[in-house]
Amino acid sequence: MEMPGSDGPQRWAMVARGYGANPRLVLVGDEGTRRIGADDLSPATVLVGTVELPDPYRPREKSYQRAVARAVRAMTVSPGVADATSTDPVASCPELATHLMWLDRAAKADRDIARLERRIGVRSGDLVAGFRSLLRLLGEWGYVDGWRLTAKGERLRFIYNELDILIAESAERGLADGLSPPELAGLLTMFVYEPRRDDVPGGIPSEPVARAVDAIFTLSDDLAAAENHRQIVMGRPPNDGYVQRMHDWASGAALDDLFDDEASAGDFVRIARQTLDLLRQMRDVYPSLRSAAAQAIERVDRGVVAAEGGS
Rounded to the nearest 10 degrees, what angle do helices 207-229 and 127-140 cross at? Answer: 140
Residue 178 binned pLDDT confidence (cut-offs 50, 70, 90): very high
Residue 302 binned pLDDT confidence (cut-offs 50, 70, 90): very high
Domains of the chain: 2-97 (no CATH), 126-307 (1.10.3380.30)
Q: What pairing do the DSSP bridges indicate for beta strands 32-37 and 24-29?
A: antiparallel
* pLDDT tens digit sequence for 193-244: 988 765 666 789 999 999 999 999 999 989 988 888 777 766 788 999 899 9
One-character DSSP codes across 47-105: -----PPPSS--TTSHHHHHHHHHHHHHSPPPHHHHHHHHH-TTTT-TTHHHHHHHHHH
Our CA angle for 197, 198, 199, nearest 5°, is: 95
How much is the pLDDT for 293? 97
- Count the residues in the chain: 311
Residue range 106-127: mean pLDDT, rounded: 63
The single-letter DSSP state of residue 46 is B
The single-letter DSSP state of residue 108 is H
How much is the pLDDT for 148? 92
How much is the pLDDT for 174? 96
- For 68, residues 6+ apart whose C-beta sits below 8 A from its C-beta are 13, 28, 29, 51, 53, 54, 59
pLDDT over 50 (residue 270): yes
- For 272, residues 6+ apart whose C-beta sits below 8 A from its C-beta are 246, 249, 300, 305
pLDDT over 90 (residue 279): yes
pLDDT over 80 (residue 162): yes
Which of 63-72, 115-124, 146-155, 288-297 has the highest average model confidence (pLDDT)? 288-297
How much is the pLDDT for 232? 73
- For 11, residues 6+ apart whose C-beta sits below 8 A from its C-beta are 1, 2, 29, 48, 72, 73
Determine which helix (DSSP H) or strand (DSSP E) holds 296, and give its type and residue range. Answer: helix 290-300
